[in-house]
Structure 1
């Protein structure tokens, strides 16, 4: 049995981890294994890896792990085999985020483990006691907000790194020991297996239906996201930044408002830009703190009795109201960590758009093309549509259908787009939804069908004229034609470049 005596200069790391199981050998599983292997015989009595599916890519890593003393199994009953070999049970299981809590694989591990946590939580526990964590989650926008926060903090002179779902596993950054502020993008998968995780600043952007195949219900998905706030009351000076324009998050704001400060245990900053919640939201949200746009588009943050300005939304290089909201969230987080407001404003202005997120990717015959391949759900596409108030784009929709309600998308396309091209496996259902709402469409609104992404770009360009915009914002996953949204976005950029070259433009 592992000792519960904790290492004094870490967040919550026991001297003795005991028998440890790593569940899954994806990116985070390999990182956790690499961290744990040198501890075998010291803090770790036995290290076991239930590696999941056997792949050629894993063979070299597995051979090295076995040579270093780890137990590894690939069989369907790998957890049971490893438990028997390790002494019957495990003191700790670190689960990969791709493995659903409802899967037989996860349930088998939970049955023989005293505790199951995610790699994010493990990294937080092992990190230095005086390190600070900014954790960002939300159905949409979390990668941009995380990258923006790391950019602002690093620009202000802090040793900050963007980790987690955005890129490198958290435990790799902890092991490297060069980071004072971890800016962690945390997914619902990662949050579902947290118990003590307690960031200094928690940023909750929005919660809309997604990943229901993993969580089984929207309620379970919502609850996983809200676990980000579960332990803030134990962190001195902790701050939660909450998007009060989102219905689900606004309900959490109402819950917090009903608590007195001592009962709540942390400060909260409602923020947002939408009509009805724009302007100073402090009275409406029952908080002395708020992050909002004033009438001239200035980013304002009221925090701890002081009011700050962080530049103007029009100065941002990232488009759309949702990115103004991301900037507000990051400004509040950075100010909560003590960054000077002038530095916040300067580095918000200098941040450039991330790849595959409303990314300008070329012009074809005077038609501007944007790659928003990261929009893998309806809510993300709604935000992209609203990012072009001065022109009605031709929008390319489709891919691997998630089966979500299309009514909000149809209404938004009618309001903001001049045409849609429905492509891929989801194309027929999307086109049918627009056909069913044909009588509500504005005059001249066009609906086209295409089989593949290349055909969709051709059809979109045919609907556009010089000065118009063609926007890939699919509202779907990519797996009908591509291995990832990144692959889809890169393919789109190549198609745009080829089309421009063919015209000599």
Structure 2
């Protein structure tokens, strides 16, 4: 191993990078300069052809990489690598895999032909997050955040708190630069990584100093195949925590699935467990103290006066109150609590963490204030691409009954909880896009349970949906885009959808003032 790094072999051998998404391109950029030294051959199974991937592949090939497109790319690259051996490259032992290491992009499902071929052709598969951790400086520290909803907010908030505490911390992974690009840049001492289930599924040695495990609810089943596989991928964030000096897990104990893991950890002897854990909340919610409930050594919770409290190593830290946070909603108070607990676990000063909580601002597309039209406040929550996220947003406005825009690219999930929550918290919904008819049918079927003043409208596109909501809204109302769907029926991403919504709000506001 290379001295001064986490777990970086001096010789990587033949490396296969699978896919040319953001993380795949970053991995290739990191590995290309190692060709002829630590890397004997670099092969890139580029997946489907796009203008962007073809341009990148051409440039990588000019620098010595082997590149192939399509489902048969791995077999083609293995044959080409063997041919390189015949021309004087590093010879392979009989029966040895064609590649020593494979780095799969997170967008490639494990049952896809490309992934299956790579698994059969590589001695080891390691996600870009795993590769980055291994290659990072031995004295660097890592915070890994995973969960179904809230990851990006927690990562951004934790990085903000750590910077406020005077540390060189950056948000990396699914937010910010890919982990391996940040490691290559060498400008970070604390990597706060948003780690998806896709990335964690291909980890083996990854040992963050602090692991934050948020809620786990059904999602991405098309990639993992079963909820159990999805859950287990998330739980891998804890697998090597005992290998980190003074490792700490921050766990959302208000979530049933995560609370089961808390119970498992509590049953272990401290020496057997090998790391500390901080349960956030209890089965009753974030206002529960697990020390009082179950005798836990540590706990994080929201006190009766609204204060965010984290108790670690026998010391209780009372931080900012929930009503002092710029981010809205009880769920964001929980996200802030998770970030604060992670920062404190790394030794951040209590006063600086408290100040950082007060100065942290809402992220784009996450219950983001985006202006008002004739006195109605508009919020962009385009990141709410599943029902659970929208349920959270519906409860974020206790002083108002929002008019909610629902729809987009339908994920086919059960809508009963959404209808019930909308009836409880909203003044009406506008169902739009490809999912609009199914959503409207669900609300129509439960119409007898709706409040007498509950409005149900339908629209074809996002623009029509906003106009329909604004026609119902008056001074002091809230118009909320929280679609509970992906965006691909009308937009290329939830970011594009959110920015389109904000532009429409700005246009309607300008018209109203004209």
Alignment TM class, shorter chain as reference: over 0.9
Q: Structure 2: how far apart are the matches of 1:484 and 1:276? A: 32
- d(CA) in 2 for partners of 1:75, 1:429: 36
> In structure 2, what is the equivalent of residue 468 of structure 1?
477
Query: Equivalent residue of 1:134, what SS?
Result: strand
Q: Structure 1 residue aligned with 2:151, among 135, 142, 158?
A: 142
| 2:40 counterpart of 1:31 | no
Shift of 1:274: 7.7
Please tell me whether residue 255 in structure 1 is matched to residue 270 in structure 2: no
Answer with 439-448 or 298-307: which moved more.
439-448
Q: Answer whether contact 1:273 1:324 (CA < 8 A) is retained.
A: no
Q: Select the residue among 41, 45, 55 that pairs with 2:40.
A: 45
* Partner in structure 1 of residue 422 of structure 2: 413
Residue 72, structure 1, aligned to residue 67, structure 2 = yes
Taking only aligned residues, the RMSD between alpha carbons, in angstroms, comes to 1.2
In the alignment, is residue 498 of structure 1 matched against residue 507 of structure 2? yes
After TM superposition, the structure 1 = structure 2 runs for residues 379-398 of structure 1, keeping only pairs within 5 Å, are 379-398=388-407
Query: Per-residue deviation at 1:62?
Result: 1.8
Task: Please tell me whether the aligned partners of residues 366 and 465 of structure 1 are also in contact (alpha carbons under 8 angstroms).
Answer: yes
**Residue in 2 aligned with 1:3?**
none
Q: Is the 8 A contact 2:286 2:302 kept in 1?
A: no
Q: Could you state the TM-score of these two structures normalised by the residue count of structure 1?
A: 0.97
Task: Show structure 2 runs of 5+ residues with no match.
Answer: 83-96
Q: 1:59 aligns with which of 54, 62, 65?
A: 54
Report the CA distance between 1:447 and its aligned residue: 1.1
Structure 1 position 219, deviation (Å) = 1.2
For the 8 Å contact 2:300–2:310, the answer to whether it is kept is yes
**1:269 corresponds to which of 253, 262, 278:** 278
Task: Name the structure 1 match of 2:433.
Answer: 424
Of 427, 448, 456, the match for 2:457: 448
**In the TM superposition, what is the alpha-carbon distance from 1:63 to its structure 2 partner?**
2.2
TM-score (norm 2): 0.96
Determine the structure 1 residue equivalent to 2:138: 129
Corresponding position: 1:236 with 2:245:
yes
Moved beyond 4 Å, runs of 4+: 273-277
Q: Is the 8 A contact 1:165 1:185 kept in 2?
A: yes
| 1:284 Cα offset (Å) | 2.3
The equivalent residue for 1:485 is 494
Q: CA deviation at 1:286?
A: 4.2
Per-residue deviation, 1:58 = 2.4
Distance in 2 between the 1:314 and 1:287 partners?
27
Match of 2:292 in 1: 283
Q: Distance in 1 between matches of 2:319 and 2:54?
A: 50
Quick one: distance in 1 between partners of 2:2 and 2:361? 40
2:230 is aligned to 221
1:285 and 1:385 map into 2 onto residues whose CA distance is 31
Cα separation, 1, equivalents of 2:305 and 2:476: 27
2:161 maps to 1:166? no
Cα shift readout 1:300-354 (whole Å, capped 9, x = no counterpart): 1100111111111111000000110011101110111000100000011101111
Contact 1:153–1:160 under 8 Å retained in 2: yes
Q: Aligned match of 1:303 in 276, 290, 312?
A: 312
CA distance in 2, matches of 1:168, 1:343: 25
Q: Does 1:109 align with 2:118?
A: yes
Alignment size in residue pairs: 500
Structure 2 residue 445 is the aligned partner of structure 1 residue 436 = yes
CA positional deviation for 1:276: 5.0
1:277 CA displacement: 5.1
2:215·2:252 contact (CA, 8 Å) conserved in 1?
yes
**Residue pairs, 1:174-253, within 5 angstroms:** 174-253=183-262
| Distance across 2 between alignment mates of 1:159 and 1:285 | 36
Matching of residue 313 in structure 1 with residue 308 in structure 2: no
Structure 2 residue 77 is matched with structure 1 residue 85: no
Cα distance in 2 for residues equivalent to 1:273 and 1:351: 26
User: Could you list the per-position Cα deviations for residues 133-159 of structure 1 after superposition, in whole angstroms to 9, with x for gaps in the alignment?
Assistant: 000111111001101111111121101
Contact 2:256–2:283 (Cα < 8 Å) also in 1: no
Give 1:275 shift.
4.2
1: CA distance, partners of 2:165 / 2:285: 33
Displacement after TM superposition at 1:246 (Å): 0.8
Return the alpha-carbon distance in structure 2 between the equivalents of residues 402 and 231 of structure 1: 34
Would the aligned equivalents of 1:253 and 1:285 in 2 still touch at CA under 8 Å? Answer: no
1:61, CA displacement in angstroms?
A: 2.1
Cα 1:280/1:75, change in 2 over 3 Å: closer
Q: Say if 2:255 and 2:283, in contact at 8 Å, map to a contact too.
A: no
